[in-house]
Chains A and B, each alone.
Chain A
Amino acid sequence: MADHATSSLPGDRGYLSEQGWRSWALTMDHKRIGVMYIWTTLGFFVVAGILALLLRLKLLVPGPALFSDHTYNVLFTMHGAMIIFLFIIPAIPSALGNFFIPLLIGCRDVAFPRLNLFSYWIFVAGILVTVGTLVAPMDTGWTFYTPYSTRTSAAVTSLSFGLFLIGMSSILTGLNFIVTIHTMRAPGMSWYRMPLFIWAMYATSVIQVLSTPVIGITFLLLAAERVFGIGIFDPAKGGDPLLFQHFFWFYSHPVVYVMILPAMGIVSEVVPVFARKPIFGYKAIAYSALAIAFIGFLVWGHHMFVSGMSTISGVIFSFLTFFVAVPTGIKIFNWIATLYKGSISFDSPMLYALSFIFLFIIGGLTGLFLGSLATDVHVHDTYFLVAHFHYTMMGGTVMGLFAGLHYWFPKMTGRMFNETWAKNAWWLVVAGFNITFFPMFILGMQGMPRRYAEYPAKYQPLNVVATVGSWFLALGVIIMFANFVRSLRNGEPAPDNPWRGLTLEWQTSSPPPEENFHEIPTVTDWPYGYGNRNEASRDH
């Protein structure tokens, strides 16, 4: 089905034809906006990654080294805030989502292209304010808990403003996607014919629209607390610092599903393509995305078990937390069932997708330790937690992102990357990741608290292992990016459908023309009819 759709001449740069900064800065093309998001977010991935390497380097030795303890606090606040707000939340939804939602549902652009461009620029404005304040410096940790954040001399007020702007960008992007998915699907694309990435992005967008305003008002209240002294979060005035935590986590817990759901969507796309089998349990995967999004709104209190929250709330939130594991488990079982008896080819997108499944199982299951009240008292605020969320966020979301970047690189750029180097990089990334973060589970169980600049000498051996692992991880990421950058110019021209995928983006040229499709496709079947029988019938 791929070849007959090729209507562009070889060397045609498609949507990339137009040159000059205006053609980017003022573009309303969702693909170009997506590309700008990719560069921006990956830029902060690199910056925050370098900060993480510095932190690991300091933790090589138990005592004082390299920089002061205050600098350490500042650096990990920057690492956390940048990786969360400037990289991992927008990385897949705003970047790959922008580029691929219209392509996967077969339309020419998002519902509100002008709003889409506006979202990008307020994101940039928010970044400027946020980064300006973070280097000012900021020492609160990325959670900005009151009452410390209302009293520190750091510029929390302007930081609130910056994050408010970034939140607005997130809301408007989510809103745009929701309306796009509802109203702009290609003729014949019913809900059950949508690619699973679209289901995942729909669930993600709902969370973005409904949870982000709460953090917006929380930041406004925090700013008002500092400027006007309204006292809502100040116990000295009868206020309640725990209210800040409720509001903060009412956003920040659902938002971890903003990070992970799109990655799960990518895995759902990649696995059937490279296993050459129809996806197993399509509806179960689709509905489990919505279920995760909804249950995600019920469990925020599990971040507050040791904060002094009432016991009854702790019990309720702990109980509800375990329900998140059900739809997550459903997804993982369905991917594994898709792999079963498939004819699997281990190309780099598939390798990253499989690493996602493996690492996310570890990350997800250790989350249950933390979600249960009694064990949480033992491991909260230790390196166990750090290991857990890096297994879900880096082992999950970032692996999903890498899978997506490799899978869609040919479509986005019109070039193939070097597969050998991609595989070399993958070995280093996955091995380095595990060497870095697995020891942290053990350190946490042994009681090493997180966020401290110095630690007792007995924890040193495993810290050395972790630090050395971070170098392998960094080397792998460098090789991966170098491979991409080199391939942008020197890669072989990509065919329209290098992976023999059935979703609509593969039916247009690589890179796609400005309005995506020369002719809007009509959909007659779901996009997962891989394997001899179904595939043959679709390849008429």
Chain B
Amino acid sequence: MTTNHDAHNGAPVSARLGIWAFLATELLLFGALFTAYAQFRITHAELFHQEHLKLNRMLGFLNTLVLLTSSLTIAVGIAAIRRGLQKVLKICLALTLALACGFLFIKYLEWSHDFHQGWFPRTNLFFGLYFMMTGLHGLHVIAGMALMVWLLIKAQRGAFSAEYSTPVEITGLYWHFVDIVWIYLFPLLYLIG
């Protein structure tokens, strides 16, 4: 490692290695849930097929669009701060935060509908996994939102610049990972059950 910093990526190598190692743990955290899902989808194929039809495919679709867009906004924000554009960064962070709120609101609509219909985590294996997976993902969204608020406060004080954007960079990577988890959750739960 000749240098801990290269111009192309905003964060030092150590920070990037750190966040990718952290995402590796996140991958295996969700990975075990995906393993459980795979096993029960094989052993209880009929149940999974019937139950997944009960989920609202259009709301899931909408939520995917919302989350994908929030990935775009944070990516643009990072590209902006690498050029020193603090104002664009602040707008992008606020947009990302708003989209995350939107995601959670749609999730709330879905869950309250589920509860209203009497579908609970204890209803059956499919709903157990559905609530577990979307719930854990939702917690990650909330954690991401807390990070966005923290970044916004720091950005407001002018903490970030073209020279220093590490917290924004690694939060961005985390946020994209949360997006990727949803990219898999959506088809597994809503489309192919």
Interface string of A185-221 (1 = CB under 8 A from B): 1000000000000000000000001111110111011
List of B residues within 8 angstroms of A238 by Cβ = 40, 43-44, 47, 124-125
Cβ B128 vs Cβ A209 within 8 A: no
B140 → chain A closest CB, angstroms: 13
Chain A interface, number of residues (Cβ within 8 angstroms): 35
B157 located at the interface, meaning its Cβ lies under 8 Å from any Cβ of chain A in the complex:
no
A473 located at the interface, meaning its Cβ lies under 8 Å from any Cβ of chain B in the complex:
no
Cβ A228 vs Cβ B120 within 8 A: yes
A230 → chain B closest CB, angstroms: 3
Interface string of B115-130 (1 = CB under 8 A from A): 0000011101100110
List of A residues within 8 angstroms of B22 by Cβ = 175
- In whole angstroms, how far apart are the Cα atoms of A406 and B128 in the complex? 51
CB neighbors of A among B24-73 (8 A)? 24-33, 35-36, 39-40, 43-44, 47
List of A residues within 8 angstroms of B40 by Cβ = 232, 238-240
* Contact pick for B128, options A111, A175, A220, A232, CB 8 Å: A232
Cβ B21 vs Cβ A237 within 8 A: no
Q: Which residue of A lies closest to B135 (CB)?
A: A224
* Contact pick for A231, options B28, B39, B128, CB 8 Å: B128
List of A residues within 8 angstroms of B31 by Cβ = 213-214
Cβ A183 vs Cβ B36 within 8 A: no
List of A residues within 8 angstroms of B47 by Cβ = 238
Q: Which residue of A lies closest to B122 (CB)?
A: A229
List of A residues within 8 angstroms of B122 by Cβ = 228-231
- In whole angstroms, how far apart are the Cα atoms of A211 and B25 in the complex? 8
B177 located at the interface, meaning its Cβ lies under 8 Å from any Cβ of chain A in the complex:
no
- In whole angstroms, how far apart are the Cα atoms of A211 and B136 in the complex? 18
B91 located at the interface, meaning its Cβ lies under 8 Å from any Cβ of chain A in the complex:
no
- In whole angstroms, how far apart are the Cα atoms of A239 and B125 in the complex? 7
- In whole angstroms, how far apart are the Cα atoms of A214 and B31 in the complex? 8
Q: Which residue of B lies closest to A239 (CB)?
A: B125
* Contact pick for B36, options A184, A212, A232, A237, CB 8 Å: A232
- In whole angstroms, how far apart are the Cα atoms of A228 and B136 in the complex? 14
Known: A213-B29, A217-B33. A179 touches B17 (CB 8 A): yes
Cβ A220 vs Cβ B28 within 8 A: no
Cβ B124 vs Cβ A182 within 8 A: no
A171 located at the interface, meaning its Cβ lies under 8 Å from any Cβ of chain B in the complex:
yes
A304 located at the interface, meaning its Cβ lies under 8 Å from any Cβ of chain B in the complex:
no
* Contact pick for B131, options A176, A179, A185, A228, CB 8 Å: A228
Q: Which residue of B lies closest to A180 (CB)?
A: B14
A372 → chain B closest CB, angstroms: 27
A233 → chain B closest CB, angstroms: 9
Cβ A183 vs Cβ B1 within 8 A: yes
Interface size class of B (residues with CB under 8 A): 35 or more
- In whole angstroms, how far apart are the Cα atoms of A182 and B14 in the complex? 8
B183 located at the interface, meaning its Cβ lies under 8 Å from any Cβ of chain A in the complex:
no
Known: A183-B17, A243-B39. A213 touches B26 (CB 8 A): yes
Cβ A213 vs Cβ B32 within 8 A: yes
A521 → chain B closest CB, angstroms: 17
A427 located at the interface, meaning its Cβ lies under 8 Å from any Cβ of chain B in the complex:
no
- In whole angstroms, how far apart are the Cα atoms of A256 and B128 in the complex? 32
Known: A216-B29, A230-B131. A221 touches B21 (CB 8 A): no
Cβ B36 vs Cβ A214 within 8 A: no
- In whole angstroms, how far apart are the Cα atoms of A240 and B4 in the complex? 47
List of A residues within 8 angstroms of B149 by Cβ = none
A178 located at the interface, meaning its Cβ lies under 8 Å from any Cβ of chain B in the complex:
yes
A421 located at the interface, meaning its Cβ lies under 8 Å from any Cβ of chain B in the complex:
no
* Contact pick for B32, options A178, A182, A247, CB 8 Å: A247
CB neighbors of B among A158-185 (8 A)? 171, 175-176, 178-179, 182-185
B187 located at the interface, meaning its Cβ lies under 8 Å from any Cβ of chain A in the complex:
no
* Contact pick for A217, options B1, B32, B128, CB 8 Å: B32
A112 located at the interface, meaning its Cβ lies under 8 Å from any Cβ of chain B in the complex:
yes
- In whole angstroms, how far apart are the Cα atoms of A179 and B4 in the complex? 11
- In whole angstroms, how far apart are the Cα atoms of A243 and B136 in the complex? 19
For A111, A185, A212, A230, which residue has the most chain B Cβ atoms within 10 angstroms? Answer: A230
- In whole angstroms, how far apart are the Cα atoms of A230 and B122 in the complex? 5
Interface string of B133-156 (1 = CB under 8 A from A): 000100000000000000000000
Cβ B44 vs Cβ A178 within 8 A: no
List of B residues within 8 angstroms of A171 by Cβ = 25
B162 located at the interface, meaning its Cβ lies under 8 Å from any Cβ of chain A in the complex:
no
A-B contact pairs, 13 of them (CB 8 A): A171-B25, A179-B14, A182-B1, A183-B13, A209-B24, A211-B28, A213-B27, A213-B32, A214-B31, A230-B132, A231-B122, A232-B128, A247-B32
Known: A111-B14, A183-B1. 5 other contacts (CB 8 A): A178-B17, A179-B21, A228-B131, A230-B129, A238-B43
5 smallest A-B Cβ distances: which pairs? A230-B128, A229-B122, A228-B121, A213-B29, A213-B28
Enumerate chain A interface residues (CB-CB to B < 8 A). 111-112, 171, 175-176, 178-179, 182-185, 209-214, 216-218, 220-221, 224, 228-232, 237-240, 243, 247, 250
